[in-house]
């Protein structure tokens, strides 16, 4: 049997606090709950590597790792999406599908959240659908992986 595809799901700063504050914006699910959703959405058809960091350089390292270790990458860059040329450059070096994720819809929020350095390096973007956006992104990534095979 062929190896299962690997999907990296990377989460940026402060997302470790999910479920503790601001449920009206980000929902009540913790990041562990969201990881379980991702594993469920993969339905045994992919191995999910799910990580969170508060450090920009660590995200860059993981994106570079995904070049050789993953068949798709999902990223909620959190605030770094609005600021980081380093994330943009690292993502541009990938040839696998990249899906940018946000729980909230930044376009409906403060002006400083309207710019994304990640969107222009992403295959697609899912925003504003809460935790279910992660499950939708896993399904989309699996579809794209199959299409490309």
Residue 149 three-state SS: coil
CA 97 to chain centre: 11
The span from the CA of 57 to the CA of 28, in Å, is 28
- For residue 82, the 8-state DSSP code is G
The span from the CA of 50 to the CA of 9, in Å, is 5
Closest contact distance (angstroms) between CB of 70 and ligand CA2 is: 20
**Residue 2 region, left (φ>0) first, then alpha (ψ -120 to 50), else beta?**
beta
- Residue 33 is a binding residue for ligand CA2 (CB under 6 A): no
- Candidate ranges 20-28, 51-59, 66-74, 118-126; the one touching ligand CA2 (CB under 6 A): 20-28
- Candidate ranges 45-53, 56-64, 101-109, 141-149; the one touching ligand CA2 (CB under 6 A): 101-109
Tokens 């659908």, residue located: 129
Closest contact distance (angstroms) between CB of 43 and ligand CA2 is: 24
- Residue 117 is a binding residue for ligand CA2 (CB under 6 A): no
Rule CB under 6 A: which of 61-80 touch ligand CA2?
Answer: 76, 78-79
Q: Quick check: 76 and 103 in contact, CB under 8 A? A: yes
Q: Quick check: 133 and 126 in contact, CB under 8 A? A: yes
| For ligand CA2, the closer CB: 4 or 17 | 17
- Residue 106 is a binding residue for ligand CA2 (CB under 6 A): yes
Q: Active-site residues: which are they?
A: 26, 102
Q: What does the binding site for ligand CA2 look like in residue numbers (CB under 6 A)?
A: 14-15, 17-18, 20-22, 26, 76, 78-79, 102-104, 106, 113
């Amino acid at each position: 049997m062929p190896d299962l595809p690997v999907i990296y799901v990377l989460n940026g700063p402060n997302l470790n606090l999910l479920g503790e504050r601001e449920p009206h914006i980000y929902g009540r699910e913790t990041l562990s709950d969201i990881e379980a959703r991702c594993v469920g959405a993969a339905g045994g058809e992919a191995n999910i590597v799910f990580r969170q960091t508060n450090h920009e350089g660590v995200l860059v390292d993981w994106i570079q790792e995904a070049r050789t270790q993953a068949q798709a990458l999902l990223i909620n860059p959190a605030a770094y999406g609005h600021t980081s040329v380093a994330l943009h450059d690292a993502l541009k070096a990938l040839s696998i599908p990249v899906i940018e994720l946000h729980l909230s819809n930044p376009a409906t929020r403060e002006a400083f959240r309207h710019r994304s350095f990640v969107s222009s390096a992403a295959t697609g973007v899912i925003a504003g659908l809460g935790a279910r956006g992660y499950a939708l992104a896993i399904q989309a990534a699996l579809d794209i992986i199959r299409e490309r095979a």
